[in-house]
Amino acid sequence: SPPQLRRGCVDAHVAAVSVVVANARGEASDPGIAAALAGLPPWQEVHAALCVGADGWGDRDRIACAFCAVRAMTRLSRFRLLWPALADHFEAALRPACVLVQQIEPGYTEAVVNADDGGASEEEEEGPAQLVAQLMELLQAMLPSAKLR
């Protein structure tokens, strides 16, 4: 499936889980929470796959998909009720996302840092700078929980 469709599916799933958790009023025994927790592991595999990318994807698609996955993990990590289900799967997505940042750094430096465009290339939506910022936001969200570290 196209990368844009994959990103849309991840965004829809995170929105649905967010609504379920927000309406559960912090009760882990809520059937909606139980269903959300049971459904998280397969979606976390999707997040990891988005960070890895697929053959034939260009850097722009790889970055956008990794950004989407890391943003989804960040949004989900804000719900304490989900922490037990999230804890075991963060590394599977973080490792390939960090490798992607390392791989694109030389091209990013050439295209953005050394570009004489008045900073316009730095403002790209879902570009490398935003991916790094989203990774930092996820790490910051994980710090309060020993379970997520």
In this predicted model, which residue has the larger pLDDT, 95 or 149? 95
Is residue 127's pLDDT more than 60? yes
Q: Measured between alpha carbons, how far is 89 from 102 in angstroms, rounded to an integer? A: 21
Write down the pLDDT at residue 69: 93
Predicted TM-score (pTM) of this structure = 0.79
* Residue 38 DSSP symbol: H
Q: Which domain holds residue 117?
A: 3-142
Average pLDDT over residues 35-60: 92
Q: How far is CA 108 from CA 50, 61, 124, in A?
A: 20, 14, 12
Is residue 5's pLDDT more than 80? yes
Domain assignment of residue 148, yes or no? no
Domain assignment of residue 92, yes or no? yes
Domain assignment of residue 149, yes or no? no
Tally of structural domains, the chain: 1
The HSE-up count of residue 42 (CA atoms within 13 Å, CB side) is 6
Domain assignment of residue 32, yes or no? yes
Average pLDDT over residues 103-127: 63
Per residue in 76-97, pLDDT (tens digit) is 988 888 888 888 888 888 899 8
Domain assignment of residue 36, yes or no? yes
Average pLDDT over residues 107-128: 61
Domain assignment of residue 147, yes or no? no
